[in-house]
Amino acid sequence: MQRSFIARNPSVLIFLGILAVFTLGATILSEGFGIGLISTSMIKTLGKTLCLCLIAIAMDLVWGYCGILSLGHFAFFGLGGYMIGMWLMYARTENIILTSLAQAPIPPTDDEIRSAIGNQIFGVVGGSDFPLIWAFADSLTIQLVLVVLVPGLLALVFGWLAFRSRVTGVYLSILTQAMTLALSLYLFQNDSGLRGNNGLSGLQNIPGAKGVPQSIISIWFLWASAIALALGYILAAWMMSGKFGSVIRGIRDDEARVRFLGYSVETYKLVIFTVTAIIAAIAGALYYPQAGIINPAEIAPIASIYLAVWVAIGGRGRIYGAVIGAALVSLLSTWFTGGQAPSIPLGFYTIHWVDWWQVLLGVTFVLVTLFAPQGIGGAIDRLVRKGTQL
Partner 1 sequence: MKTARFSFLLGLSLLLMALLVPQPIQAQTIQDILQEHEEIIAKGSRRTIQPAIDALRDSGLPEAQRVMELWQDKALWQRKDDKQFFLTEPLEGRTLQLIDLISGQPVGTAEKSDLKQIKPNSGVRGLIGAALVQFQLMDPDPLTRRDSLIAIQRDPKPTHLPALRGAIDGETDPDLKALKERLERLLTITYGETDAKRITAIESFAGDLGVDARAALNPILTTTRVAVTEASDVNIARQLTPGQNDFTADDAYALLIAENLAYPAISNDEKRLALVANVVDGQVAGFAVETLNTYEARDQAYSALAAEGLVPADVTRAAQQKALQRHEFYDVYNEPSQSVTDAARGTLQAIETRVGLNQTADLALDGLSLASIYFLAAIGLAITFGVMGVINMAHGEFIMMGAYTGYVVQLFIPDYTLSIIAALPLAFAITFAAGVAMERTVIRWLYHRPLETLLATFGISIALQQLAKNIFGTQARPLTAPGWLDGAWVINDVVSISYIRIAIFVLALIFFALLLFILKRTRLGLEVRAVTQNPKMAASMGINTDKINMLTFGLGSGIAGIAGVAIGLFAQVTANLGSGYIVQSFMTVVVGGVGNIWGTLAGATMIGSLQKIIEFFNPSNTLAAQTYMVIFIIIFIQFRPRGIIALRGRAAGD
Residues that bind partner 1 in the complex, under the rule CB under 8 A? 67, 69, 105-111, 158, 161-162, 164-171, 173-175, 177-179, 181-182, 185-186, 188-189, 301-302, 305, 308-309, 312, 355-359, 361-366, 369-370, 373
Q: Minimal distance in Å, beta carbon 296 to partner 1?
A: 10
Toward partner 1, which CB reaches closer, 170 or 346?
170
Q: Minimal distance in Å, beta carbon 298 to partner 1?
A: 16
Q: Minimal distance in Å, beta carbon 106 to partner 1?
A: 5
Closest CA to 197 of 130, 117, 124: 124
Query: How many CA atoms, within 13 angstroms, populate the side-chain half-sphere of residue 297?
Result: 4
Q: Minimal distance in Å, beta carbon 289 to partner 1?
A: 27
Toward partner 1, which CB reaches closer, 42 or 174?
174
In 173-297, which ranges are E strands? Answer: 200-201, 293-294
User: Which residues make Cβ contacts (< 8 Å) with residue 19, sequence separation at least 6?
Assistant: 226, 229, 230, 233
Q: Minimal distance in Å, beta carbon 80 to partner 1?
A: 20
Q: Minimal distance in Å, beta carbon 160 to partner 1?
A: 10
Toward partner 1, which CB reaches closer, 132 or 370?
370
Q: Which residues of 139-158 are buried (b: 16+ CB within 10 A; e: fewer)?
A: ebeebeebbbebbbebbbeb
Toward partner 1, which CB reaches closer, 216 or 302?
302
Distances (CA, A) of 336 to 93, 324, 343, 349: 36, 18, 10, 18
- Reduced to 3 states (helix: H, G, I; strand: E, B; else coil), residue 38 is strand
Q: Minimal distance in Å, beta carbon 246 to partner 1?
A: 21
Toward partner 1, which CB reaches closer, 9 or 176?
176
Toward partner 1, which CB reaches closer, 7 or 346?
346
**Residue 351 phi/psi, 5° resolution?**
-85, 110
**Rounded Cα distance, 3 and 47, in Å:** 30
DSSP string across 304-339: HHHHHHHHHHH-TT-HHHHHHHHHHHHHHHHHHHTT
Q: Where are the alpha helices (DSSP H) in 123-198?
A: 140-164, 169-188
Toward partner 1, which CB reaches closer, 51 or 69?
69
Toward partner 1, which CB reaches closer, 44 or 195?
195
Closest CA to 91 of 150, 134, 148: 134
Task: Identify the bridge partners of residue 344 per DSSP, sorted by sequence position.
Answer: 351
Task: Identify the bridge partners of residue 30 per DSSP, sorted by sequence position.
Answer: 38
Q: Minimal distance in Å, beta carbon 184 to partner 1?
A: 9
